[in-house]
Homo-oligomer: A and B are copies of this chain.
Amino acid sequence: MLNFVFQNETRIIFGKETEKEIGRETKKLAKRVLLHYGQGSIKRSGLYDTVVSSLKEHGVVFSELGGVMPNPRLSLVREGINLCRERKIEAILAVGGGSVIDSAKAIASGVQYDGDVWDFYCTLTEPENALPIGVILTIPAAGSESSAGSVITNEEGLLKRAFNSPLMRPKFAILNPELTYSLPAYQTACGVADMMAHVMERYFTTVRGVELTDRLCEATLRTTVSNAKKVFKNPRDYNARAELMWASTIAHNGLLNTGRIGDWASHQIEHEISGIYDIAHGAGLAIVFPAWMKYVVNNDVERFVQFSSRVWGNEIDPFNMEDYAHQGIESLKQFFSSIGLPTSLREAEIGEDRIEEMATKATQQGRIGNFVKLGKNEVEEILILAK
């Protein structure tokens, strides 16, 4: 087990009707806030009205900026930063899924920075301060509600880049599973793939002596799989929605990689796919992860055997351990298919013509991944396995 520092101070307010707490919680942070959201589903669902009345009740003044799209855009972030400066905004409220929260984080960190916020995402510099952020989560997937990370797409060059800073970690996050009842099945499935990917990026490590976090990862994966199945049978199963929502946060709150080093190559490869083709991040991960696994399995068959056994409950065949390791990958792929996700580029109607370009972009800052270090050629081979 490696040395580590772990701290996650986000206050999680979880359960039925908790969105009504937004005014009370926000008031502790600021009096003048930016209400940031997506493409209007919160207005159709009535959530917007609940938020507005709770803010008014607690005397919180707000400006609005909607319009965040999946794979959130830098241009809207810049607009948000200008708005915050003009209106002397003191905090950002993100009401939505990971894209809205990531956009809010970018705005929060850019407001008091003299340069261009994109500098952070190019790792040229780091923010020295940021506005506090509060969240109402509507899509369990990205884990951004209690993470320190943000992913933004720069329309110039379709560059999708991630950035982490503890200053961007939300002060509070309100999670009401009922708000996810109305999610379309495909979006639920993409969220499931995203949260599972967050766990698997951490699970596939070369660090030894990490049994506790291995088992915590396996617990989170098994729970996600079994409750995804329940949600697909009954989208209004409260407990199943609640398990998925809490699992999505735990998958990415930093606990599961204490004492170990994650991989993250699959995420970086996926960012190139969704950066160019604008498919959902979760769908891209369902395509990349099984291909990545097939490419790297022989580097640590034992770990894949453990994955096959403990996550998928396959019965061990000690005479064919390699086959058995592959069986775990097959189980994952079949699960993704069963919830309606593509598991190949072809199924997502993506051709082969830009594979080399994606491999080049994914590795332009050097080799990626930790479980196995991947250069351009290796990424290309993985994308070919994903065809």
Contacts and interface: CB of A to CB of B under 8 A. Distances in A.
Contacts of A227: 211
A212 interface: yes
Contacts of A250: 212, 216, 255
Interface in A213-242: 215-216, 218-220, 222-223, 226-227, 238-240, 242
A132 to B, nearest CB: 14
Interface in A328-387: none
Contact of A7 (B10, B218, B226): B10
A40 interface: no
A5 B1 contact: no
A158 to B, nearest CB: 36
A70 interface: no
Nearest to A15: B3
B1 A11 contact: no
A319 interface: no
Interface of A: 1-16, 18, 177, 208-212, 215-216, 218-220, 222-223, 226-227, 238-240, 242-243, 246-247, 250, 255, 258-259
Contacts of A8: 8-9
Nearest to A213: B246
A4 B11 contact: no
Contacts of A1: 15, 177, 238-239, 242-243, 246
Contacts of A10: 7
6 contacts: A5-B11, A5-B12, A14-B258, A209-B238, A209-B243, A215-B219
Contacts of A259: 14-15, 242, 246
Given A8-B8, A9-B9, 6 more contacts: A3-B14, A5-B12, A7-B9, A15-B259, A212-B243, A215-B218
Contacts of A223: 211-212, 215
A11 B7 contact: yes
B238 A211 contact: no
Nearest to A4: B14
Contacts of A5: 11-14
Nearest to A3: B15
Question: Which 9 A-B pairs rank lowest in CB-CB distance, beginning with the nearest?
Answer: A3-B15, A209-B239, A215-B219, A9-B9, A7-B11, A1-B242, A212-B223, A6-B12, A219-B219
Nearest to A250: B212
A10 B11 CA distance: 13
Nearest to A177: B1
B219 A246 contact: no
A239 B208 contact: yes
A16 B3 CA distance: 7
A221 to B, nearest CB: 9
A374 B10 CA distance: 36
- Among A7, A9, A10, A11, max chain B CB count under 10 A is at A7
Contacts of A210: 239
Contacts of A219: 212, 215-216, 218-219
A245 B246 CA distance: 25
Contacts of A246: 1, 212, 258-259
Most buried by B among A7, A219, A227, A242: A219
A6 B177 CA distance: 16
